[in-house]
Amino acid sequence: MPSFKDTNGREWLVTLNVAQVKRVRERLGINLADLQEGNLLARLADPVTLVDVLFVLVLPQADETNISDEQFASALGGDTLTEASTALLEALCDFFHEPQRTLLRKVLAATTAKRHEAMALLETEGDNLIRTALDRAMNIKTIQAGSPTGD
């Protein structure tokens, strides 16, 4: 079962079933079962929306420990938010039946691989990329400052 830990070390289990899809739809107006029409993945890229959805999904656990939505949200950020997002995406994959599940798992795996590639590139080429971007930005400002029109 997908899970993640918040910044306070609390572990949250993320499960998705029809009752929870219904609860998210009723409370947030987001249909987790609609992968095509509702731009679900784009909506979940917003961290506030992501945390709201996650809280509705873990609400029974939060109620057991008297954790409010604000306390829950306050304990998510940075890497914990990435882990929470991955847990939700894994739960989404598990929710659907074949062949959608297989396709979603492939998309998730490809996305994860691309993120790792980007991080590796940043590790090896980050300084050069930053230096190049700064050089370009400084050159543009120098040209603009030296322009007779001031543009």
The domains of the chain are located at 3-95
The position carrying tokens 């029974």 is 60
pTM of model > 0.75: no
Residue 123 CB contacts under 8 Å (≥ 6 apart), including other chains? none
What totals of helices (H) and strands (E) does the chain contain, helices first? 7, 2
- What is the arithmetic mean of pLDDT over 86-97? 90
Q: How far does the chain reach from its first CA to its final CA, in angstroms?
A: 57
pLDDT digits (tens, 9 = 90+) for 36-75: 766 888 888 899 999 999 999 999 999 999 999 999 999 9
